[in-house]
């Protein structure tokens, strides 16, 4: 395992909170209590409920759009992280506002259902319903339905990857781009015994195993697991929207993310891969003021800009 990036070296003092049966409920409750900060003066921020999947509850969405943006503009549908068992749109609000402001787009964040109470495919179906709502209401939202990107971090990025596959296979909306920030793609990683965890932080193999089991509702590595829940299992990656994948060398998901990026390219899907030396899972959260994080965020912003403003 490479040493921690020099700008992230203080992470050696960070604890890695265990996510397991005895703690997941508490962590889920704590994240459910997160609340949005004051809306910046230059932003319109709305919280709405939109129609959910058939037979399921409505889906809560958080909409961010700069007041200065007039007329039709692109959009980004964003899914938060949390291993499918915790998390809340509020945790990514600062980043979503930055995407909206820097790019002049509408960002819609989804509060999807969480495991284990709502195992797969509940969260993914919520994301699919939210995407359909954006497309169906594009005129009212001043969104260009042909320029909608999907993205997320960690489990949310795994949902985005699964959503791209689901849209293709159902003949549903056609996202223009997928932005996958250290995505959680492969339950079989939880079975590995050869992982060096020396420089890992914030997300451990034990937490990964619990989270995947809770999300899938069955043992990890089982036969017949949906390739929409674990996108790395899908045998056919052709015809998907272009992608950007970013991950650190010290992230538990590094190998599965690199493998997925290579498979996308082999399937004819353009995929930019950014690997950050010495970065661990979720390094953006604790070290937002460092240059390594700022550069990582700039790459995401520029990847979205190139995809959503191809004539720019």
- Active site (catalytic) residues: 154, 251, 281
In terms of residues, how long is the chain? Answer: 312
Contact 303, 242 (CB under 8 A): no
List CB contacts of 244: < 8 A, sequence separation 6 or more.
177, 178, 179, 180, 271, 272, 273, 274, 299, 300, 303
Q: Which two tokens stand for residue 120?
A: 């797969």
Phi and psi (nearest 5°) for 151?
Answer: -165, 175
Contact 79, 157 (CB under 8 A): yes
CA distance 312 to 309: 5
CA distance 27 to 286: 17
Closest listed residue to residue 152, CA positions, set 79, 243, 229? 79
CA distance 215 to 234: 17
């Amino acid at each position: 395992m490479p040493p921690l990036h020099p700008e992230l070296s203080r992470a050696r003092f960070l604890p890695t909170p265990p996510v397991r049966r005895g703690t997941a409920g508490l962590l889920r409750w704590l994240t459910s209590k997160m609340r949005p900060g004051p809306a910046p003066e230059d932003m319109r921020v709305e919280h709405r409920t939109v129609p959910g999947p058939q037979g399921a509850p409505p889906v809560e969405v958080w909409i961010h759009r700069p007041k200065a943006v007039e007329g039709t503009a692109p959009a980004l549908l964003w899914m938060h992280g949390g291993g499918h068992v915790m998390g809340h749109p509020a945790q990514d609000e600062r980043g979503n506002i930055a995407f909206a402001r820097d790019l002049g787009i509408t960002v819609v964040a989804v509060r999807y259902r969480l495991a284990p109470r709502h195992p797969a495919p509940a969260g993914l179906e919520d994301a699919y319903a939210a995407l359909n709502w954006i497309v169906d209401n594009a005129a009212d939202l001043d969104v260009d339905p042909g320029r909608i990107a999907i993205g997320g971090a960690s489990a949310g990025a795994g949902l985005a990857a699964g959503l791209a596959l689901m849209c293709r296979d159902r003949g549903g909306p056609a996202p223009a781009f997928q932005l996958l920030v250290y995505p959680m793609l492969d339950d079989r990683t939880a079975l590995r015994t050869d992982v060096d965890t020396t420089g890992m932080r914030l997300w451990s193999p034990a937490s990964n195993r619990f989270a995947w089991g809770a999300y899938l509702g069955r043992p990890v590595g089982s036969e017949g697991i949906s390739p929409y829940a674990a996108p790395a299992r899908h045998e056919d990656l052709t015809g998907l929207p272009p992608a950007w994948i970013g991950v650190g060398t010290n992230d538990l998901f590094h190998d599965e993310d690199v493998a997925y990026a290579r498979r996308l390219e082999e399937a004819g899907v353009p995929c930019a891969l950014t690997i950050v030396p010495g970065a661990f899972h979720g390094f953006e959260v604790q070290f937002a003021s460092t240059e390594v994080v700022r550069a990582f965020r700039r790459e995401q912003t520029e990847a979205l800009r190139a995809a959503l403003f191809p004539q720019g």
